[in-house]
Amino acid sequence: MVRVAIIGASGYTGAESIRIILRHSEAKLVYLTALPQECGAVRDVFGQFKGRCDLQIEPLDFDKLSGLADVALCCLPHKVSMGFVPKFLAAGLKVIDFSADYRLKDISVYEKFYEVKHTDAVNLGRAVYGLPELFREDIKGKDLIANPGCYPTGALLAIAPLLKEGLIETDSIIVNAVTGVSGAGRNPSSKFHFPNMNENLFAYGVGSHRHMPEMEQIAGEIADSNVQILFQPHAGPFDRGILSTVYCQPKGKISNEKLLKLYNDFYAGEHFVQIRSDAPTVKDVAGTNYCHIFATRAKGRIIIFSAIDNLVKGASGQAVQNMNIVFGLEETLGLK
Amino acid sequence: MVRVAIIGASGYTGAESIRIILRHSEAKLVYLTALPQECGAVRDVFGQFKGRCDLQIEPLDFDKLSGLADVALCCLPHKVSMGFVPKFLAAGLKVIDFSADYRLKDISVYEKFYEVKHTDAVNLGRAVYGLPELFREDIKGKDLIANPGCYPTGALLAIAPLLKEGLIETDSIIVNAVTGVSGAGRNPSSKFHFPNMNENLFAYGVGSHRHMPEMEQIAGEIADSNVQILFQPHAGPFDRGILSTVYCQPKGKISNEKLLKLYNDFYAGEHFVQIRSDAPTVKDVAGTNYCHIFATRAKGRIIIFSAIDNLVKGASGQAVQNMNIVFGLEETLGLK
Amino acid sequence: MVRVAIIGASGYTGAESIRIILRHSEAKLVYLTALPQECGAVRDVFGQFKGRCDLQIEPLDFDKLSGLADVALCCLPHKVSMGFVPKFLAAGLKVIDFSADYRLKDISVYEKFYEVKHTDAVNLGRAVYGLPELFREDIKGKDLIANPGCYPTGALLAIAPLLKEGLIETDSIIVNAVTGVSGAGRNPSSKFHFPNMNENLFAYGVGSHRHMPEMEQIAGEIADSNVQILFQPHAGPFDRGILSTVYCQPKGKISNEKLLKLYNDFYAGEHFVQIRSDAPTVKDVAGTNYCHIFATRAKGRIIIFSAIDNLVKGASGQAVQNMNIVFGLEETLGLK
Amino acid sequence: MVRVAIIGASGYTGAESIRIILRHSEAKLVYLTALPQECGAVRDVFGQFKGRCDLQIEPLDFDKLSGLADVALCCLPHKVSMGFVPKFLAAGLKVIDFSADYRLKDISVYEKFYEVKHTDAVNLGRAVYGLPELFREDIKGKDLIANPGCYPTGALLAIAPLLKEGLIETDSIIVNAVTGVSGAGRNPSSKFHFPNMNENLFAYGVGSHRHMPEMEQIAGEIADSNVQILFQPHAGPFDRGILSTVYCQPKGKISNEKLLKLYNDFYAGEHFVQIRSDAPTVKDVAGTNYCHIFATRAKGRIIIFSAIDNLVKGASGQAVQNMNIVFGLEETLGLK
**Residue C200 pLDDT exceeds 90:** yes
What backbone phi and psi angles, to 5 degrees, belong to C183? -60, -20
Q: Is residue C332 part of a domain?
A: no
Q: How far apart are the C-alpha atoms of C215 and C212, rounded to whole Å?
A: 5
pLDDT of residue D207: 81
Contacts of C272 in chain A (CB under 8 A): 51
Q: Are residues B144 and B226 in the same domain?
A: no
Q: Are residues A174 and A221 in the same domain?
A: yes
What backbone phi and psi angles, to 5 degrees, belong to B38? -110, 10
Q: Are residues C182 and C321 in the same domain?
A: no
Nearest Cα to A92, choosing from A33, A5, A10?
A: A5
Other beta carbons within 10 angstroms of residue C112's beta carbon come to: 12
**Residue C64 pLDDT exceeds 90:** yes
pLDDT band at residue A207 under the 50/70/90 scheme: confident
pLDDT of residue C243: 98
pLDDT of residue B247: 98
Q: Are residues B166 and B219 in the same domain?
A: yes
Say which of C39, C53, C74, C150 is annotated catalytic: C150
pLDDT band at residue C208 under the 50/70/90 scheme: confident
Nearest Cα to D148, choosing from D332, D13, D336?
A: D13
How many angstroms away from the CA of C47 is the closest CA of chain A? 6
Q: Are residues B163 and B48 in the same domain?
A: no
Q: Are residues C300 and C226 in the same domain?
A: yes
β C301-308/C242-248 pair status: antiparallel
CB pairs under 8 A between B and C: 139
Residue from C179, C201, C285 to probe the interface with B (highest B Cβ count within 10 Å): C201
Per-residue pLDDT of B119-129, as tens digits, reads 999 999 999 99
How many angstroms away from the CA of B306 is the closest CA of chain C? 10
pLDDT band at residue A208 under the 50/70/90 scheme: confident
Per-residue pLDDT of D18-62, as tens digits, reads 999 999 999 999 999 999 999 999 999 999 999 999 999 999 999
Q: Is residue B121 part of a domain?
A: yes
Q: Are residues B170 and B128 in the same domain?
A: no
Q: Is residue C331 part of a domain?
A: no
Neighbouring chains of D at 3+ CB pairs under 8 Å are: A, B, C
Q: Is residue B292 part of a domain?
A: yes
SS3 label, residue C17 = helix
The answer to whether A186 contacts B193, with C-beta atoms less than 8 Å apart, is yes
Q: Tell me if residue B150 is catalytic.
A: yes
The answer to whether A51 contacts C274, with C-beta atoms less than 8 Å apart, is yes
Q: Are residues D271 and D319 in the same domain?
A: no
Helix axes C317-326, C132-139, angle to 10 degrees: 30
pLDDT band at residue B208 under the 50/70/90 scheme: confident
Nearest Cα to B79, choosing from B49, B99, B53?
A: B99
Mean pLDDT of A170-189: 97
SS3 label, residue A300 = coil
Per-residue pLDDT of B221-278, as tens digits, reads 999 999 999 999 999 999 999 999 999 999 999 999 999 999 999 999 999 999 999 9
Other beta carbons within 10 angstroms of residue C206's beta carbon come to: 17
The answer to whether D243 contacts A230, with C-beta atoms less than 8 Å apart, is no
Q: Are residues C112 and C227 in the same domain?
A: no
Mean pLDDT of D293-320: 97
Q: Is residue A332 part of a domain?
A: no
The answer to whether B232 contacts C303, with C-beta atoms less than 8 Å apart, is yes
Nearest Cα to B323, choosing from B50, B97, B77?
A: B97
**What residues in chain A have their Cβ under 8 A from chain D's Cβ atoms?**
174, 176, 178, 180, 196, 198-204, 206-208, 212, 228, 230, 232, 234, 236-241, 243, 245, 247, 279-283, 286, 296-301, 303, 305, 307
Per-residue pLDDT of D66-76, as tens digits, reads 999 999 999 99
**Residue B169 pLDDT exceeds 90:** yes
CATH code, A171: 3.30.360.10
pLDDT of residue B164: 98
pLDDT band at residue A263 under the 50/70/90 scheme: very high
Instruction: Count CA atoms within 13 Å of residue C173 on its CB side.
Output: 28
The answer to whether B188 contacts A192, with C-beta atoms less than 8 Å apart, is yes
Segments forming the whole domain that contains residue D86: 2-148+314-326
pLDDT of residue C33: 98
Q: Is residue A334 part of a domain?
A: no
Contacts of B297 in chain C (CB under 8 A): 207
What is the count of structural domains for chain C?
Answer: 2
Q: Are residues A190 and A82 in the same domain?
A: no
The chain-wide mean pLDDT, for chain C, equals 97
pLDDT band at residue B184 under the 50/70/90 scheme: very high
Q: Which residue of B has its CA nearest to D269?
A: B51
Q: Is residue A331 part of a domain?
A: no
Q: How far apart are the C-alpha atoms of A60 and A8, rounded to whole Å?
A: 9
Contacts of B243 in chain C (CB under 8 A): 201-203, 234
Q: Are residues B132 and B87 in the same domain?
A: yes
**What residues in chain C have their Cβ under 8 A from chain A's Cβ atoms?**
22-23, 47-48, 50-52, 199, 271-272, 274, 276, 280-281, 283-285, 287-288, 290, 292, 336
**Residue A34 pLDDT exceeds 90:** yes
Q: How far apart are the C-alpha atoms of A28 and B55, rounded to whole Å?
A: 59
The answer to whether C336 contacts A271, with C-beta atoms less than 8 Å apart, is no
Provide the strand spans (E) within chain A.
2-7, 27-33, 40-41, 56-58, 71-74, 94-97, 128-129, 144-146, 173-179, 202-203, 229-235, 242-248, 273-275, 291-298, 301-308
Q: How far apart are the C-alpha atoms of C258 and C162, rounded to whole Å?
A: 11
Q: Are residues B139 and B156 in the same domain?
A: no
The answer to whether C247 contacts B200, with C-beta atoms less than 8 Å apart, is no
pLDDT band at residue D104 under the 50/70/90 scheme: very high
Taking a C-beta distance cutoff of 8 angstroms, is the pair D274, D214 a contact?
Answer: no
pLDDT of residue A299: 93
CATH code, C43: 3.40.50.720
Q: How far apart are the C-alpha atoms of B228 and B217, rounded to whole Å?
A: 9
Q: Is residue D334 part of a domain?
A: no
pLDDT of residue A257: 96
Residue from B29, B274, B291, B313 to probe the interface with D (highest D Cβ count within 10 Å): B274
pLDDT of residue A274: 98
Per-residue pLDDT of A209-253, as tens digits, reads 899 999 999 999 999 999 999 999 999 999 999 999 999 999 999
pLDDT of residue B207: 81
Taking a C-beta distance cutoff of 8 angstroms, is the pair B203, C244 a contact?
Answer: no
pLDDT band at residue C207 under the 50/70/90 scheme: confident
